[in-house]
Structure formats: C-alpha cells, structure tokens
Amino acid sequence: MADILDGKALAQTLQTDLAQQIAKIKAAGGRSPGLAVLMVGDNPASAAYVRNKERACEKLGMVSLGKHFPANTTQAELSQVIDELNHDDRVDGILVQLPLPDHLDSVALLNQIHPDKDADGLHPMNLGRLVRGEVGLQSCTPAGVMKLLEEYHIDPRGKHAVVIGRSILVGKPLGLMLLAQDATVTMAHSRTPDLPAVARSADILVAAVGRPNLITADMVKPGAVVIDVGINRITDDGGGRLVGDVDFASVKDVASWITPVPGGVGPMTVTMLMANTVWSYLRRVAG
Ligand code: NAD
C-alpha cells in the first residue's frame, strides 16, 4: 500500500511560511505583494480556479488585483490591460487564466506579460531560462510537483521518470525540471506506442493528460512513485466528483508513493503561484 504525497498538508505549511514572510514585510512598512489574475468570460471551472487563487492571495495578506472581463472583450482591450499591469508598481505577478475564448490570441497575450511579473512562468524568456538551467519564474504545477518530491525526499537523480503529457503548462516544463535533477526522462504522449510498457518502465511516473483512469495498476512498476496531475470532473453519478488520470484504488496497491486527487498536486499549484509572486516581489523590491 503506497504512502500518500500529501499536497494539501505541504501547501498549508508553505502558505503559513509565506504569510509570515509577508506579515514581516508589512510590519517593516513594506507594501504587500500583488497578484493580478485576468479572467475572460464565465467558464465555470476557470471561475472556480480564479476564486481559489484570489482567496489564497487574501489569506496570505497579498493584494489581489483580479480583473474579470466579459467574453466579448477584444485582443486590443486585454493587451492594453496587460500593458498597464506591466507598469503598475503594485503588481508583482500577472496571470491570464486559460483557456481564453477562441477569438483571442492567448500566446500573444502571454508573451506580452513582463517576464519579471510572469507568475505562471509561461513567458518564452522564463521557459528559455528553464531550458538553460538559469534562475527564473517557473510554471506553477511542475514546480509544485518538484516541491512535493523534495519534501518527501524522493530524489530524481538516476531514476527513470516518465512524464505522460507534453503540454507547455505541465508536461514539458516538468520533464526539464526532472532532467535538471539528473533523472533520465521519457516524455510520453498521445502518439507514444505501447504506453503501458513505457509507463511500466518508470521509477517516477507522472500523468498529466486529463483522462480518468488512464493509468491502471498493470501500467505501474511495483514500488514506483506515481504523481497524478490530472483533474477530471465526473458527473455521471449526478455529482461533480474530481478524479485524476490515475486509477487510485488499484494503483495505490502497487506504487510506493502516490498523490491523491484532490489533495495532491492541485493545492501545490496555487501555493507555487503565491510563492512565485512573493519571489517576484522580493526581486523587484531589491532592484
Ligand atoms: P493538455 O490537454 O494541454 O495536454 C494533454 C497532454 O496529454 C497532451 O500532450 C497529449 O499529447 C497527452 N495525451 C492526450 N491523450 C493521451 C493519451 N491517451 N495517452 C497519452 N497521452 C495523451 O492538458 P494540460 O493542460 O497539460 O493538463 C493535463 C491535465 O492536468 C488536465 O486534466 C488538467 O486539468 C490537469 N491540470 C492540473 C493542474 C493541477 O494543478 N493539478 C494544473 C494544470 C493542469
């Protein structure tokens, strides 16, 4: 039976540390770090994520400068807002909640965010820094996965890490982060032949796909560490249960460590967003 990688508990600990850090800054007369989350339209899942982020900001004593726009907002209007936020001294982090409505060019908007305020680590400059192994803002979900591994003393060095999913948001940056810590990394995706065999060769198996029950017990090497990034809403039972990409019930009997959904990677993502904003703040304040 696998041990649980408890993202909820670790997120709580890290958030308490951040709150104390922010309280100290304020007690010394400093301003609070500020995060601006831009949301366009009314996608219910996005709205819930944004609410979570704004709540976390407030709980930690940060300023939340959230902006919600109607679905018909134009590219030019959003571009103007990002420009203003780039120049706004109260703002240390800017995040555009994805996906955006189809008429908007999200890549152009993400590229316009100042790299030093790129709280989601998706700007080409920050992704480039990651490729080069330089210090920079890192994508929150993969950074959260790495933090979980570190907390539980799971050292990727020399291990075979298989990352399933190659998105720019999760899979690709996570592959690079694992590589930077000396794992041997295989990036698998929808065109990978014999995914079960590839998955079974992993010491650290990460699923970042968005398909419930993609990973079953027969795809997991006994003793492997299994990280479930997927978030899938199951509505067939009339409720709105969240499940990951991993069949937790069967895989927990094979793996050595496993993240639950919810309570695994999700809370780490929000926490790393807060940590990124505080990090940007400290760098900007220090000049
Ligand atoms: P995405 O749709 O951009 O990418 C999915 C990837 O999975 C693609 O690279 C695709 O090649 C691969 N894929 C699709 N079908 C496959 C299959 N049958 N076999 C193998 N690979 C397959 O998604 P994303 O933004 O990377 O998100 C992935 C999942 O992670 C989603 O469920 C998303 O909700 C979740 N997510 C969770 C967090 C979190 O905080 N826990 C954060 C971001 C995303």
Q: How far is the CA of 210 from the centre of ligand 1 (A)?
A: 4
29 is in an annotated binding site: no
Name the one residue in this structure whose structure tokens are 């400059």.
125
Residue 160 shares a structural domain with residue 257 = yes
Average pLDDT over residues 251-255: 98
Residue 82 shares a structural domain with residue 147 = no
Is position 2 within any domain? no
- The confidence band for 114, taking pLDDT boundaries of 50, 70 and 90, is very high
Residue 153 shares a structural domain with residue 95 = no
231 is in an annotated binding site: yes
241 is in an annotated binding site: no
- The confidence band for 46, taking pLDDT boundaries of 50, 70 and 90, is very high
Residue 260 shares a structural domain with residue 172 = yes
Residue 92 shares a structural domain with residue 171 = no
- Find the CATH number of the domain harbouring 65: 3.40.50.10860
Average pLDDT over residues 160-172: 98
- The confidence band for 260, taking pLDDT boundaries of 50, 70 and 90, is very high
ipTM of the complex: 0.98
Residue 69 shares a structural domain with residue 105 = yes
pLDDT for 287 equals: 67
pLDDT for 237 equals: 72
- The confidence band for 235, taking pLDDT boundaries of 50, 70 and 90, is confident
Q: Is the pLDDT at 224 greater than 90, yes or no?
A: yes
Average pLDDT over residues 105-127: 97
Q: Is-above-0.90 flag for pTM? A: yes
- The confidence band for 246, taking pLDDT boundaries of 50, 70 and 90, is very high
Is position 95 within any domain? yes
Q: Is the pLDDT at 34 greater than 70, yes or no?
A: yes
Is position 154 within any domain? yes
Residue 106 shares a structural domain with residue 168 = no
Domain of 72?
Answer: 30-114
Q: Is the pLDDT at 281 greater than 80, yes or no?
A: yes
Of 114, 130, 151, the last residue of a domain is 114
Percent of the chain at pLDDT > 90 equals 94
Residue 66 shares a structural domain with residue 159 = no
Residue 261 shares a structural domain with residue 192 = yes
Is the distance from the beta carbon of residue 141 to the nearest atom of ligand 1 less than 6 Å? yes
Average pLDDT over residues 22-40: 96
Is position 104 within any domain? yes
Is the distance from the beta carbon of residue 269 to the nearest atom of ligand 1 less than 6 Å? yes
**Which two three-digit tokens encode residue 223?**
């003793």
Residue 95 shares a structural domain with residue 161 = no
Q: How far is the CA of 139 from the centre of ligand 1 (A)?
A: 14
Task: Give the total number of structural domains in the chain.
Answer: 2
Strand pairing category for 241-243 and 160-164: unpaired
Residue 90 shares a structural domain with residue 172 = no
Q: Is the pLDDT at 96 greater than 80, yes or no?
A: yes
Q: How far is the CA of 167 from the centre of ligand 1 (A)?
A: 7
Q: Please state the atom number of ligand 1 nearest to the C-alpha of residue 229.
A: 41
pLDDT for 179 equals: 98
pLDDT tens-place string over residues 178-209: 999 999 999 999 999 999 999 999 999 999 99
Residues carrying an active site annotation: 53, 97, 120
Average pLDDT over residues 221-225: 98
Please report, to the nearest 10 degrees, the dihedral formed by the alpha carbons of residues 111, 116, 117, 122 taken in order.
40
Contact indicator for 113, 96 with CB cutoff of 8 Å? yes
Mean pLDDT of the chain: 96
Q: What is the 3-state secondary structure (H, E, C) of the chain?
A: CCEECCHHHHHHHHHHHHHHHHHHHHHCCCCCCEEEEEEECCCHHHHHHHHHHHHHHHHCCCEECCEEECCCCCHHHHHHHHHHHHHCCCCCEEEECCCCCCCCCHHHHHHHCCHHHECCCCCHHHHHHHHHCCCCCCCHHHHHHHHHHHHCCCCCCCCEEEEECCCCCCHHHHHHHHHHCCCEEEEECCCCCCHHHHHHCCCEEEECCCCCCCECHHHCCCCCEEEECCCEEECCCCCCEEECCECHHHHCCCCCEECCCCCCHHHHHHHHHHHHHHHHHHHHHCC
- Find the CATH number of the domain harbouring 151: 3.40.50.720
Question: Which of the listed residues 167, 187, 194, 211 should we mutate to test ligand 1's pocket, taking the one with most ligand atoms within 8 A of CB?
Answer: 167
